[in-house]
């Protein structure tokens, strides 16, 4: 079974990242997606690579990523999750708008 875990943003090791860490431990084979990944403390990711959105590469995204909030739903919708059997989202902010296939 192919599993995707989709997280809003990875910027600080807060409570949501602790939940993410537990999900990764439950689904160690899962692929990880996030709008941006500027997390300095990588322990919560358990060594997993992160697929990020185009927002990762926009100017000033590291410090002012929330300035791009109008683009978040668009960015989340561009993740290619068509081949996954299970998609787990860890937030109620943006990533619940991800699509499993073409609209």
**Each residue of 5-17: pLDDT tens digit?**
999 889 887 888 8
**Each residue of 14-27: pLDDT tens digit?**
888 889 999 999 99
In a domain, 63, yes or no: yes
> At which residue do the structure tokens 């990875």 appear?
10
**Alpha-helix runs per DSSP H in 11-87:** 15-26, 61-64, 72-77
In a domain, 103, yes or no: no
In a domain, 75, yes or no: yes
- DSSP per residue, 39-57: -S-GGGGTT--EEE-GGGG
Domain count, the chain: 1
In a domain, 102, yes or no: no
Task: Give the domain extent around 59.
Answer: 3-97
């Amino acid at each position: 079974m192919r599993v995707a875990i989709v997280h809003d943003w990875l910027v600080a090791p807060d409570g949501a990242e602790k939940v993410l860490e537990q999900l990764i431990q439950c689904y160690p084979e899962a692929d990880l997606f996030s709008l941006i990944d500027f997390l300095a403390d990588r322990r919560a990711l358990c060594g997993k690579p992160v697929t990020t959105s185009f927002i990762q590469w926009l100017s000033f995204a590291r410090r002012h990523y929330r300035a791009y909030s109008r683009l978040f739903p668009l960015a989340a919708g561009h993740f290619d999750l068509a081949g996954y059997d299970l998609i787990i989202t860890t937030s109620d902010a943006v990533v619940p708008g991800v699509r499993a296939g073409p609209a």
